[in-house]
Amino acid sequence: MLEAAADLFHKQGLRATSPDHVMEASGTGKGQFYHYFASKEGLVHEVLQGHIQAIRIGAAQVNYDVRSWAGLERWFATHAQLQEAFAWTRGCPFGTIGNELAVGDELVRQDLSLLFEVVRGKLALFFAAEKAAGRLSGNADEIKLADFCIAAVQGGMLMAKIKRDGAALATTIDAAMSYLKTFRRRPEKARTSR
Amino acid sequence: MLEAAADLFHKQGLRATSPDHVMEASGTGKGQFYHYFASKEGLVHEVLQGHIQAIRIGAAQVNYDVRSWAGLERWFATHAQLQEAFAWTRGCPFGTIGNELAVGDELVRQDLSLLFEVVRGKLALFFAAEKAAGRLSGNADEIKLADFCIAAVQGGMLMAKIKRDGAALATTIDAAMSYLKTFRRRPEKARTSR
């Protein structure tokens, strides 16, 4: 049920997905559904907590544990590949839910906010490690760079979904990487220490 | 009715807004509604065409007719201000609809796609003019820079909506402006020709 729900939320959003849709897609019945979830809100919460946990432990479709600039490129590229796999008809599973949020959806918003905080933390760790190794400018703010990465890829994925075309996403990823690389530095002692 | 619908779509999205909601918010009845619109789809189309027309003629809340780098900064900043005016509870009226799109929403998608093409065209005109004046690198691609601007501000607005906080949007705008400014050039003949 969680998998079917996650897929439907990704495909058509939260609002358009009813418990009935989830039961139909997963071949389950009301008894089972309400045994596991008190309500649709409970289901949404479980789905998002599942995503957060997968991101935390490195079991998500995207590898958030970036360890190199090539890994950062792959992080960006994987977003594009996953979206292309749906012929650009779907956006990011998290961004899709994020833009649907209305004032009353405070629990969902908190889950999503936490999810993006976990992602930000992982990306920021990469930039912090680069800084510590002297490979990133001391003026760079790892949290800000991580926020920029997330916003760039989210905006690019949204445009790809609207256009059914990945060109603007590719452009945005290239631009983001160029910007991020302006903070790269050659470590002073790199050659002697190796 | 169009104004009430635009506001509801912005506030809660397309899917959560029924013709009844629009009638209630605009104080109109079924007779009037179906006199003007064949269906909800017709209403959505009219709302989006209204937005596109406003952007085209420069009557939108955002000034898309950018003529200077300060104007570009204002273009970015206005997005943040408009979102802050709703205490970050709403995203971009267009991005919100964009992320809701499902496979069947082809008419809406085409309208939105056209809307963003008009925006892109206006931003690209600025970059092209800067290039023609020798104030932008000849290597810069005005269409790509425009796509990057749109993706960056959309991604930033989405994160602001999810976080109910404008910090990541501000960071993204700063980063985008820094990146764009790397293409600025001092025109060779500027001083002698003035």
- pLDDT at residue number A17: 92
- pLDDT at residue number A194: 45
Write phi, then psi, for B58 (nearest 5 degrees).
Answer: 80, 25
Minimum-distance CB partner of A158 among B11, B154, B178: B154
pLDDT in tens, A100-137: 888 888 999 999 999 999 999 999 999 999 999 999 99
- pLDDT at residue number B190: 52
Q: Please write down the long-range contacts of B56-59, taking CB distance under 8 Å and 24 or more positions apart.
A: B56/B118
Minimum-distance CB partner of B99 among A95, A147, A175: A95
Domain count, chain B: 1
Taking contacts as CB-CB distances below 8 angstroms, the residues of chain B near A169 are 151
Q: Is residue A193 part of a domain?
A: no
Mean pLDDT of all residues belonging to chain B: 93
Q: Is residue A98 part of a domain?
A: yes
| Residue B58 Cα distances to A124, B50, B52, angstroms | 40, 12, 10
- The mean pLDDT of B1-15, rounded to a whole number, is 91
DSSP 8-state secondary structure symbol assigned to residue B175:
H
ipTM of the prediction: 0.93
Residue type, A55: I
Taking contacts as CB-CB distances below 8 angstroms, the residues of chain B near A167 are 147
Taking contacts as CB-CB distances below 8 angstroms, the residues of chain A near B163 are 113, 116
Contact between chains at A91 and B99 (C-beta distance less than 8 A): yes
Half-sphere CA count of B155, side-chain side, radius 13 A: 35
Taking contacts as CB-CB distances below 8 angstroms, the residues of chain B near A181 are none
Structural domain range at position A180? 2-187
Distance from CA of B137 to the nearest CA of A (A): 15
Taking contacts as CB-CB distances below 8 angstroms, the residues of chain A near B151 are 152, 155-156, 158-159, 168-169, 171-172
- pLDDT at residue number A189: 63
Q: Is residue B107 part of a domain?
A: yes
- For residue A184, the SS3 value is strand
DSSP string of B86-108, one letter each residue: TTT-S--HHHHHHHH--TT-HHH
Mean pLDDT of all residues belonging to chain A: 93
Residue of B nearest to A107 (CA): B162
pLDDT in tens, B131-169: 999 999 999 999 999 999 999 999 999 999 999 999 999
Residue (of B193, B182, B27, B88) closest to A182 by Cα position: B182
The contacts of residue A112 (CB under 8 Å, 6+ apart) are A48, A94, A97, A98, A101, B162
Q: How long a stretch of residues is chain A? A: 194
B189 pLDDT tier (thresholds 50, 70, 90): low
**Residue spans of alpha helices (H) in A63-166:** 69-84, 93-100, 106-132, 142-163
Residue matched to tokens 């809100």: A41
Q: Is residue B194 part of a domain?
A: no
Most B-contacting residue of A18, A110, A154, A183 (CB-CB within 10 A), to test interface: A154
CA dist A176 and A76 (Å) reads 9
Across A15-29, B4-18, B78-92, the highest mean pLDDT is recorded for B78-92
Residue of B nearest to A155 (CA): B155
Q: How long a stretch of residues is chain B? A: 194
Q: At what angle are helices A93-100 and A142-163 packed, to 10 degrees? A: 90
CB A13 within 8 A of CB B15: yes
CB B44 within 8 A of CB B112: no
- For residue B166, the SS3 value is coil
Q: Is residue A125 part of a domain?
A: yes
Q: Is residue A105 part of a domain?
A: yes
Q: Is residue B39 part of a domain?
A: yes
- The mean pLDDT of B66-76, rounded to a whole number, is 98
A193 pLDDT tier (thresholds 50, 70, 90): very low
The CATH code of the domain that includes A160 is 1.10.357.10
At residue A76, does pLDDT exceed 70? yes
- pLDDT at residue number B194: 45
Q: Is residue B193 part of a domain?
A: no
- For residue A120, the SS3 value is helix
* Number of DSSP helices (H) and strands (E) in chain A, helices first: 10, 0
Half-sphere CA count of B85, side-chain side, radius 13 A: 9
